[in-house]
Amino acid sequence: MKNIYLLLIAGFTLFASPTFAQEATKTVFVELGGNGLIFSANYDMRFGDKINGLGARLGLGYVGGGSAGATVVTVPAMINYLLGKDGKYFEVGAGITYISAGTDFIDDGFSDSSLLGAMTFMYRSQPVNGGFMWKIGFTPILAEGIFIPYWVGLGIGYAF
């Protein structure tokens, strides 16, 4: 009988004690436009245990076909910072996008592969405890002799 009381007390203590949910600091998302240029699949993570703060992102984009059968592969790699709280954030970031394209696809000063400078200025909606996330904003592009300040991106995905 004593063991049953100890078991009941242990069970009550376990279920009645407060639990602290961990913030969803990782996301997977697809982005149209943005730093992947046309389309990219991405993984984003925070360096700490909070959503706001410093983080990084790595993606992979691919577009194939077209009239000349050319393909384009992009790899955006960014450092970013999220400002805000309660699921509403402003994302600011900088990094590079590696682009590899057939010469038939791009013929304006790019070689078969190039590095582009990339920035991010986006509104980001991401639930604190995880779930559906989305973001939208400006993603300026820099390259030798090229600056496109009004390039835009839209991302949707899942935070966990």
Q: What is the pLDDT of residues 33-69, one digit of tens each?
A: 999 988 999 999 999 999 999 999 999 998 876 666 6
CB-side neighbour CA atoms (13 Å) of 22: 8
pLDDT band at 99 (very low <50, low <70, confident <90, very high): very high
Gyration radius from the chain CA atoms: 22
Q: Where are the alpha helices (DSSP H) in the chain?
A: 2-16
| 3 state DSSP class of 34 | helix
What is the pLDDT, as a whole number, of residue 66?
A: 62
What is the pLDDT, as a whole number, of residue 40?
A: 97
pLDDT, average across residues 80-88: 97
Asked if 39 and 32 touch (Cβ cutoff 8 Å), the reply is: yes
pTM for the full predicted model: 0.78
Write the single-letter amino acid at 77. A
Cα 109 to Cα 36: distance, rounded to the nearest angstrom: 19
pLDDT band at 17 (very low <50, low <70, confident <90, very high): very low
Q: Give tens-digit pLDDT for 117-152.
A: 999 999 999 999 999 999 999 999 999 888 999 999
DSSP-derived secondary structure letter, 116: E
Of the options 3.60.21.10, 2.40.160.20, 1.10.3720.10, 2.60.120.620, the CATH number for the domain spanning 2-159: 2.40.160.20
